[in-house]
Amino acid sequence: MFIRNYYFKFIKLFILLGLLNNFESYSKELLFCHDEIESFPWFEQNGNGLNTVEMNLVDEKLEDIEIKQQSLPWLSCLRELKQNKIDGVFAASYSPERLEIGVYPGIPLGAKDGIPDESKRMHISEYALYKKKGSQIKWDGSKISGAKRVGAQSGFSILTLLKKQKEQKNIEFIDESEQSSNALIYHIAKGNLDAVAMLSLQADKIIKLNKDFSNIEKIEPALEKKAYYLILSHKLVKEDPELANKIWKTLQEVRNSTEYKAKVKEIFKKYF
């Protein structure tokens, strides 16, 4: 009897320990932040944006973590990442200044500059300049001409290019007060701004769906073409570099997956 009771106690202990181990292996929760403003096709209010889909697929593949997503104003996302209050921000283009905020794939923790591993990107996007039809504003690939007042969304990386254009006296004023892409295009339509620099897919969708903006057109060529990444916190990369690399590697796998490519095709077919 003693042996049998001991045996059952041992089995119960074994099961309990197994459950605890499983609980611990699934209990690591990560909080990633993205911009609260819709940006087609990457973020949509209905949760069907491609970046959201991509991150959900990563979450499904990595069974040892649980990814939570929150939306905030973009500058708030960056500020909270710098303070290690969150574990990551997506999706952000590269600039050396942002290495003070977090870590890009392929760039060592603590580096002041570097080249991110583009194979670990989330996506590639283009910025373009938009103007009223008939205006003489031009972009030749290096210089903006014919525009005095140009706008861009607050905190977006294209502001670096615009500020250089202002330093070279190619433009006179930069409006970076707006967060909404719709509001920026509205400013062109009403004549408040001569041109705006925007992510082209988002701007093209807005113009296509709004008859009030039928007098707005895109200037070729593109202002910039950039890769966008998941930036991870200094704290996460320092404490668990293996997990950080695992997340970036899984992003690469998801982006190249049949499931994700089918979703890309579905979204673009709907609007273009």
Of 207, 229, 210, 233, which is closest to residue 219 (Cα–Cα)? Answer: 207
Domains within the chain, CATH numbers bracketed: 2-123+227-271 (3.40.190.10), 126-226 (3.40.190.10)
What pLDDT shows up at residue 265?
A: 93
Give the pLDDT confidence score for residue 269 in this predicted structure: 84
List the 88-93 sheet strands across, edge first. Answer: 65-72, 28-35, 88-93, 216-232, 123-132, 195-199, 149-151, 173-175
- pLDDT tens sequence for the chain (272 residues): 544 444 444 444 444 444 444 444 455 999 999 999 888 999 987 778 999 999 999 999 999 999 999 999 999 999 999 999 999 999 999 999 999 999 999 999 999 999 999 999 999 999 999 999 999 999 999 999 999 999 999 989 999 999 999 999 999 999 999 988 999 999 999 999 999 999 999 999 999 999 999 999 999 999 999 999 999 999 999 999 999 999 999 999 999 999 999 999 998 887 76
Distance CA 239, CA 251 (A): 20
DSSP character at residue 42: T
Answer whether 134's CB lies under 8 Å from 141's CB: no
CA–CA separation, 198 and 179 (whole Å): 11
CA angle, residues 26, 48, 159, in degrees to nearest 5: 100
pTM, two decimal places: 0.80
Is the CB of residue 57 less than 8 Å from the CB of residue 260?
yes
Q: In terms of Cα–Cα distance, which of 248, 205, 203 is closest to 227?
A: 248
